[in-house]
């Protein structure tokens, strides 16, 4: 009796999706420009595939819904690029968000924003903190598409509005001058939270 060759084993139904996801990720990684090094769910076939890649370490989440391959340098320029769509006109990134842009410490889940005192207050994004700050623009730098308070001014706004000495330490290690920051706080005798801000600076200095 003639024997017929065994039918080939059906391929794993999951493999084509995995291969397609790998191909998409490879295409993104091969483009080294800052904007193109950001991987979002639609780049790799959807949210489920994206979550698997993050879980398995093939991608490193930077902000919710945006990740980079492990070999990509996530610097201040790239962090600023990622939050730019959330920043309204006539505002400056400051406080915890500016600390994250400058150092990578903390997170950008909730925005801290400042605007020039005495002018029309811009619309505040949902979940963000927005406050007026005097003499703001001389202490700002442009990083990518957004304006950000420089490291020393970020310390001033941080200790007056949110505290968090660990972020002050991170900023000091990225160029913030804590002596200048203390003087800037001391010359604001009417600033709310001034006493607590000076204590936060003392705590940060003790940790350096």
Reported confidence tier of residue 142, pLDDT bands at 50, 70, 90? very high
pLDDT score for 135: 86
Q: What is the pLDDT of residues 172-185, one digit of tens each?
A: 999 999 999 999 99
Identify the weakest region by mean pLDDT among 8-12, 14-18, 24-28, 56-60: 14-18
Instruction: From 189, 129, 138, select the one nearest 163 (Cα to Cα).
Output: 129
Specify the higher pLDDT residue, 82 or 35.
82
**Run of H or E including 22:** helix 15-30
In this prediction, residues 42-66 reach a mean pLDDT of 90
Give CA–CA dist 173/35, Å, rounded: 27
Instruction: From 171, 175, 153, 180, select the one nearest 207 (Cα to Cα).
Output: 171
**CB burial of residue 122 (10 Å; 0-12, 13-18, 19+):** middle
pLDDT for residue 160 is more than 60? yes
End-to-end CA distance of the chain: 85
**Run of H or E including 115:** strand 112-116
The model's pTM is: 0.80
């Amino acid at each position: 009796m003639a024997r017929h060759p065994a039918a080939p084993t059906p391929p794993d139904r999951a493999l084509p999706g995995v291969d397609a996801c790998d191909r998409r990720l490879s295409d993104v990684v091969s483009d080294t420009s800052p904007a193109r090094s950001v991987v979002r769910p639609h780049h790799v076939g959807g949210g489920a595939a994206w979550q698997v890649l993050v879980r398995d370490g093939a991608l490193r989440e930077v902000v919710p819904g945006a990740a980079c391959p492990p070999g990509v340098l996530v610097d201040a320029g790239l962090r600023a690029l990622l939050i730019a769509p959330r920043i309204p006109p006539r505002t400056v990134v400051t406080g915890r968000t500016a600390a994250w842009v400058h150092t990578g410490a903390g997170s950008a889940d909730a925005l801290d924003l400042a605007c020039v005192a005495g002018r029309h207050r811009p619309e505040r994004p949902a979940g963000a903190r927005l406050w007026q700050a005097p003499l703001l623009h001389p202490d700002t730098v442009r990083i990518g598409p957004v304006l950000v308070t420089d490291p020393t001014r970020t310390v001033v706004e941080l200790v007056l509005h949110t505290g968090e000495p660990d972020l002050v330490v991170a900023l000091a290690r990225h160029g913030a001058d804590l002596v200048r920051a203390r003087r800037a706080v001391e010359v604001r005798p009417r600033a709310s939270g001034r006493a607590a801000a000076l204590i936060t600076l003392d705590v940060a200095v003790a940790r350096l």
